[in-house]
């Protein structure tokens, strides 16, 4: 790809800042259906105003920037305002949290491939990215979803999703926006950790091959993968250290050293387990790895705070305490300094 030296330097600087040594990302970019689903579970009305209130609670949490380098927002949120009239982008940037944006349009059933999904959103993406860059958003996210099951994933699904990720990434870099490349192998199902390893390895090889073909500057992107874990319904659930070892082994086989950082998704793990597994990776391997191992958690940072908030203004201070605490635990995990004692209030 033909990018100016200046543009490449800016991409590299932002990517490095996103995975700065003691920090990670907060995913607060739930689409309408996902956010509504989480609200519905708790009986919170699924309204635009409450989605705004909830996200105001998050971004006004004091001290969040001690652990959070960047926040991924949803298109609805960047057009909303806080009660004091400032925009979400302004408040984050003012707190030295880099604002980013989810730009994929979600997944749909993949034609001809039952049980598999393809992510949409490439049409018109160049124009949307240009608007986002003008609004001050410095990085973007695109999530591909890979399901493990009987006879799946197919090579067709892996290649189509990897191709879309690479085309998205190159469009982002052209606009001076750092792409987060997120191929998520889902935890749903009864498959073993070995099967998750095999599929994740195949997925990441396919993704990096496409990133190379499309000319993505690896130094100016972040990878957001799943950890290598057994399916949620698998009888055998490996230990924290076994998951850490398998995940790092898989990443060492597939992720080029030029990539500055890997920020895991949490994917439905409990908050504590996500922190403990990330911590184990950093304790055991941090000094030996070419890239930083960090977090880009959604549920694993937000869930306790959402449970407490429950749609009520009066619960905001307690919810913010819980959010700050989870972010702080993950900061510790990023440094390899997390322990179960931290969970005792």
Separation of first and last alpha carbons in the chain: 51
Q: Is 41 among the residues known to form the active site?
A: no
* 163 contributes a contact to ligand 13P by CB under 6 A: no
| CB 265, min distance to ligand 13P, A | 4
* 183 contributes a contact to ligand 13P by CB under 6 A: no
> Which residues share a beta bridge with 144?
183
Is residue 12 within 8 A of residue 176, CB to CB? The reply is no
Alpha carbon of residue 214 to chain centroid? 22
DSSP state of 242: H
* 297 contributes a contact to ligand 13P by CB under 6 A: yes
Which parts of 299-318 interact with ligand 13P (CB under 6 A)? 299-300
**Residues near 268 by beta carbon (within 8 Å), at least 6 away in sequence:** 187, 188, 232, 299
In the set 30, 175, 182, 184, the catalytic residue is 182
Total residue count of the chain as it appears in this document: 345
* 117 contributes a contact to ligand 13P by CB under 6 A: no
String of contacts with ligand 13P for each residue 252-291, x by CB under 6 A: -------------xxx------------------------
* 169 contributes a contact to ligand 13P by CB under 6 A: no
Residue from 298, 309, 322, 326 in contact with ligand 13P (CB under 6 A): 298
Q: Is 224 among the residues known to form the active site?
A: yes
Residue from 17, 26, 27, 319 in contact with ligand 13P (CB under 6 A): 27
* 69 contributes a contact to ligand 13P by CB under 6 A: no
Distance CA 194, CA 68 (A): 32
* 334 contributes a contact to ligand 13P by CB under 6 A: no
How do strand 292-297 and strand 261-264 relate by DSSP bridges?
A: parallel
Structure tokens at 28: 């607060």
Active-site residue set:
182, 224
């Amino acid at each position: 790809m033909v990018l100016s030296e200046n543009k490449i330097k800016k991409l590299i600087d932002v990517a490095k800042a996103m995975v700065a040594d003691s920090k990670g990302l907060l995913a607060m970019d739930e689409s309408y259906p996902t956010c509504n689903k989480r609200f519905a579970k708790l009986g919170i009305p699924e309204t635009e105003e409450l989605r705004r209130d909830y996200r105001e609670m998050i971004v006004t949490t004091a001290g969040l920037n001690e652990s959070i380098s960047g926040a991924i927002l949803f298109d609805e949120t960047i057009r909303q305002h806080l009660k004091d009239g400032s925009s979400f982008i302004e408040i984050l940037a003012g707190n030295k949290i880099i604002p980013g944006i989810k730009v994929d349009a979600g997944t749909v059933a993949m034609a001809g491939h039952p049980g598999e999904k393809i992510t949409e959103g490439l049409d018109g993406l160049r124009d949307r990215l240009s608007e986002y860059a003008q609004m001050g958003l410095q990085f973007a996210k695109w999530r591909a979803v890979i399901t493990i099951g009987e006879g799946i994933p197919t090579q067709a699904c892996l290649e189509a999703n990897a191709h879309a990720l690479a085309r998205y990434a190159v469009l982002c870099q052209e606009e001076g926006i750092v792409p987060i490349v997120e191929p998520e192998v889902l935890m749903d199902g009864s498959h073993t950790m070995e099967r998750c390893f095999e599929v994740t390895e195949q997925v990441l090889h396919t993704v990096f091959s496409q990133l190379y073909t499309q000319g993505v500057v690896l130094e100016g992107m972040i990878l957001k993968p799943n950890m290598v874990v057994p399916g949620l319904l698998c009888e055998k659930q490996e230990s924290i250290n076994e998951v850490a070892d398998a995940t790092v082994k898989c990443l060492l086989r597939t992720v080029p050293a030029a990539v500055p950082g890997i920020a895991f998704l949490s994917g439905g793990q409990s908050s504590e387990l996500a922190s403990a597994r990330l911590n184990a990776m950093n304790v055991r391997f941090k000094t030996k790895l070419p890239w930083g191992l960090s977090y880009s958690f959604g549920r694993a940072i937000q869930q306790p705070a959402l449970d407490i908030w429950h749609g009520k203004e009066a619960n905001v201070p307690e919810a913010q305490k819980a959010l700050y605490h989870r972010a702080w635990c993950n900061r510790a995990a990023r440094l390899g300094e997390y322990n179960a004692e931290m969970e005792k209030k």
